[in-house]
Amino acid sequence: MNFKTRISFSYSLSMLLFMSAFNLGACAQLKRGTETDDASKAKSISQVPASSEPEPVIPSEPVGIKKGDILLAYPRGENNNKIDAPATFLIGSVTAGKKLLLDGQEVKTNAQGYFAQVVKLAFGKNDFNLHVDGQGASDGLKVTVERPAPPPVLSTNSFNILPESLSPKEDIGVTAGDIIQIAARATPGCIVTAKFGGHTVALKPAVQKRKDGKTTVNLGLATTFGVTFQRSPSALKDLYLGFYKVAPNDNFQNANVIFTLQKSAAKGAQSIQAKAEGKVSVVQQPILLSTAHKDTIVRLGPGQARTTPLPEGVRLMADGYLGQWWRLDLAPGRHVWIAKEDMVADEEINNVPLSKVSTVNLETDSYGARVVVPLNQKLPYQIEQDLSGGKLSLHIFGITSDTDFVTSDQKPSDSACAKLIDYVTWRQKSDRHYELVTQLKSKDQWGFYADYEENSLVLHIKTPPPIDVESGTLKGLTICVDPGHGGKEPGAIACSGVKEATLNYALGKQFQNALEALGAKVIMTRTAEQYAGLQERVDTAIASKADMLISVHNNSLPDGRDPWKEHGSSSYWYHTQSMGLANLARERLVKDGGLKDFGTRYQNLALCRPSNMLACLVEVGFVINPDELSALQDPKFQETVGKSLAESVKTFLYQKLGGLQNNQPSPAANQ
Domain of 655: which CATH number? 3.40.630.40
Same structural domain, 479 and 456: no
Distance, CA of 390 to CA of 6 (rounded, Å): 15
pLDDT (average), residues 220-249: 85
pTM comes to: 0.88
pLDDT (average), residues 353-382: 96
Q: Calculate helix-pair angle for 635-657, 579-593, nearest 10 degrees.
A: 140
- Please write the tens of the pLDDT for every residue from 539-550: 999 999 999 999
pLDDT (average), residues 224-243: 83
Give the three-state DSSP class for 442.
coil
Same structural domain, 529 and 474: yes
Same structural domain, 508 and 622: yes
Same structural domain, 402 and 475: no
Domain of 116: which CATH number? 2.60.40.10
Residue 405: alpha-carbon gap to chain centroid: 40
Same structural domain, 321 and 404: no
Q: How many helices (H) and strands (E) does the chain have?
A: 7, 40
pLDDT of residue 561 exceeding 90, the answer is yes
In a domain, 360, yes or no: yes
Q: Exposure of 69 by Cβ count < 10 A (0-12 exposed, 13-18 middle, 19+ buried)? A: buried
Residue that terminates a domain, selected from 119, 147, 175: 147
Same structural domain, 650 and 551: yes
- Please write the tens of the pLDDT for every residue from 476-519: 999 999 999 999 999 999 999 999 999 999 999 999 999 999 99
In a domain, 77, yes or no: yes
Q: What is the pLDDT of residue 659?
A: 52
Q: Which domain holds residue 584?
A: 469-670
Residue that terminates a domain, selected from 347, 377, 405: 347
pLDDT band, very low/low/confident/very high, at 1 (cuts 50, 70, 90):
very low
Distance, CA of 283 to CA of 174 (rounded, Å): 6
In a domain, 10, yes or no: no
Q: Which residues contact 189 (CB under 8 A, 6 or more apart)?
A: 156, 264
Residue that terminates a domain, selected from 415, 441, 462: 462
Same structural domain, 276 and 211: yes
HEC-encoded secondary structure of 346-389? CCCCCCCCCEEEEEEEEEECCCEEEEEEECCCCCCEEEEEECCC
pLDDT of residue 385 exceeding 70, the answer is yes
| Alpha-carbon separation of residue 592 from 278, 588, 597, 639 (angstroms) | 56, 6, 12, 11
Same structural domain, 210 and 294: yes
In a domain, 39, yes or no: no
pLDDT of residue 9 exceeding 70, the answer is no
- Please write the tens of the pLDDT for every residue from 36-81: 443 332 222 222 233 344 556 677 889 999 999 999 999 988 777 9
In a domain, 5, yes or no: no
More confident residue, 348 or 420: 420
In a domain, 34, yes or no: no
pLDDT (average), residues 256-272: 83
Other residues' Cβ atoms within 10 Å of the Cβ of residue 374:
17
Same structural domain, 609 and 483: yes
Same structural domain, 511 and 650: yes
- Please write the tens of the pLDDT for every residue from 516-539: 999 999 999 999 889 999 999 999
More confident residue, 95 or 661: 95
Q: What is the pLDDT of residue 589?
A: 97
In a domain, 511, yes or no: yes
Number of domains in the chain: 4
In a domain, 574, yes or no: yes
pLDDT of residue 15 exceeding 70, the answer is no
Q: Exposure of 439 by Cβ count < 10 A (0-12 exposed, 13-18 middle, 19+ buried)? A: middle
The amino acid present at 248, given as its one-letter code, is P
Same structural domain, 386 and 451: yes
* Sequence-ordered alpha helix ranges (H) in 391-517: 416-420, 500-517
Q: Which residues contact 348 (CB under 8 A, 6 or more apart)?
A: none
- Please write the tens of the pLDDT for every residue from 166-182: 999 999 999 999 999 99
On whether the CB atoms of residues 20 and 167 are closer than 8 A, the answer is: yes
Same structural domain, 143 and 182: no
Q: What is the pLDDT of residue 30?
A: 36
pLDDT of residue 366 exceeding 50, the answer is yes
